[in-house]
A and B are shown apart, each in its own frame.
Chain A
């Protein structure tokens, strides 16, 4: 089977292109997604390939865009909406919370729509182009949240998100777009929404993480193995709602020590959910208190030194792991 090396961004592009080729119900719209190809060039050439009826630009109106996607989805289409930055989805959050997330429960009408939301920092984007809002989205009933960290998963999970009969927020980590490459086969492997990926095996501790922090955690684990001989498991949650509780519990059982890492805010972050699950269901398996390494509860700062202090990285993950392992 032929294998190609693709970027994370290319994985997203291929997943989108594949579903649009297979299914005429898939419609793509958002700000600048047409001839410009989107702010990050994910959809370059889509307008030419699929035509203006399926790929179109919108005014700057996140709430109306979300509302229109709900309307389309309620009629059987599978709209894919790009909000240029996840930060800007906040101006439309009520359409997601109140309309998309409740429609099937209230009226039995399914809303198969996908909101592509580029998120995360690490590139000097400042307070309004770097936010990690997965905890917001996960808190809403009726919404699914997917957040891949690898090109292959980005490709497969976008296909799964588009075909899911529910509203799915598909978080794309901007830092990973061109930084991460992976060898992938031509054929897109199906991935079930709700399954985690064990991306590094180990028995001394487990890092539960997702997004860009997966790669930082792998780097930390490798460094720690070389330096101190510890074998640290790394789990990429990759879908956050629903999330893979079985894998979390199994990896805690296998390692007895848990570090949770994310670049979103600390208080009520997704890590708090994971920590609560472990406390409720795997307390007896722990040899050390659950540890969280997250962004602090402050806006995402701009200056490189400030952002470096704000955002977890491999070195700080390694430090936290050493403390956890030596507890």
Chain B
């Protein structure tokens, strides 16, 4: 992995963390509409996939994958506009929080129904390949979504059609308040790959550099030999399902164990150890990211909300 990629991972994760921490603050200050759902502690896999992917690839991020959006080029100002429901935000106020995308970046806007986007990104990749483009798809879901019919239908469909698709299951141990033990009976979620006749790969979900190094050759191979693979990454949701949730049902020792393996800490340490960044450089980068987030937030608060007169615009295309 080259130096630029390592620094890209760090910058994407720092930006993600800074934005999400700011969103949490705004939520508790009552300055934001609706809920706030973050991926604190889960920044690594989205950043790694963004680092590996090619321009024509397509993505279906889930609620904890803000780092994927940022890695694919979403601007902090657009993100704040989205959470604030602004007219010029990614969904123009039609949808809130993590429900947004940008197909110019190859990123689909998720819907709340978990597992539903796996087949959408598959279809997108099938279309791009029909159109002569080299395209690989990446679908992110959590442990809870593996229980849905959509997960089963879409993974089987992609496997049968040999769609070059990487299904990244982020096992963060809780689906809202439901722990793994009440969610599935197999030993590991990666075991499900065997049932679909596809390759399954289990990785540490908190090490962005390790993920990038492990997955880059797999993705390169998917381009040559199109097929579907299942990747299970072990990680931890470090906040509640949303900020309204005190997650008191999660044992604090479990959180402490993952806090010691925080993706940002892991990445910083590797970069420092490899001499790719020094402490003053790191401090400067963090200050730069914070400043960008401050500016984006201020700008978004000044941006106008949508006019009620636009309520019915765009229900149908071409009208």
Residues of chain B within 8 A (CB-CB) of A109 are: 103
Tell me the A residues contacting B by CB distance below 8 Å. 27, 53, 56, 58-59, 61-77, 79, 91, 94-95, 98-99, 102-112, 141-142, 144, 164-166
Pair A71/B130 contact, Cβ less than 8 Å:
no
Among all A-B residue pairs, the 9 with the closest Cβ atoms: A71-B123, A67-B119, A68-B123, A75-B127, A110-B317, A61-B153, A71-B124, A64-B153, A165-B317
Pair B127/A104 contact, Cβ less than 8 Å:
no
Closest residue to A100 on the B side, CB-wise? B120
Pair B149/A63 contact, Cβ less than 8 Å:
yes
Given pairs A27-B127, A61-B156, A68-B119, 18 additional interface contacts (CB within 8 A):
A58-B160, A64-B118, A64-B156, A67-B116, A67-B122, A68-B120, A68-B122, A71-B121, A71-B127, A74-B108, A75-B124, A77-B127, A94-B113, A94-B116, A106-B95, A107-B91, A107-B109, A165-B316
Interface-centre pick from A56, A99, A142, A166 (highest chain B CB count, 10 A): A99
Number of interface residues of B (CB under 8 A): 42
| C-alpha spacing A70/B118, complex, angstroms | 11
Residues of chain A within 8 A (CB-CB) of B94 are: 105-106
Pair A64/B315 contact, Cβ less than 8 Å:
no
Task: Give the distance to chain A from B232, nearest Cβ to Cβ, in Å.
Answer: 21
24 A-B residue pairs with Cβ-Cβ distance under 8 Å, sorted by A, are: A59-B153, A61-B153, A61-B157, A63-B150, A63-B153, A64-B119, A64-B153, A64-B154, A64-B157, A67-B150, A72-B124, A74-B120, A75-B123, A77-B131, A102-B95, A103-B109, A104-B314, A104-B316, A104-B317, A107-B101, A107-B103, A107-B109, A164-B318, A165-B316
Tell me the B residues contacting A by CB distance below 8 Å. 58, 90-91, 94-95, 99-101, 103, 108-109, 111-113, 116-128, 130-131, 149-150, 153-154, 156-157, 160-161, 314-318
| C-alpha spacing A197/B202, complex, angstroms | 60
Task: Give the distance to chain A from B169, nearest Cβ to Cβ, in Å.
Answer: 17
Pair A76/B131 contact, Cβ less than 8 Å:
yes
Pair A67/B118 contact, Cβ less than 8 Å:
yes
Residues of chain B within 8 A (CB-CB) of A105 are: 94, 314-315
A67's contact among B120, B127, B315, B317, by CB below 8 Å, is which? Answer: B120
| C-alpha spacing A171/B252, complex, angstroms | 55
Residues of chain A within 8 A (CB-CB) of B108 are: 71, 74
A59 touching B156 in the complex, CB below 8 Å, given contacts A107-B109, A166-B318: yes
| C-alpha spacing A218/B215, complex, angstroms | 65
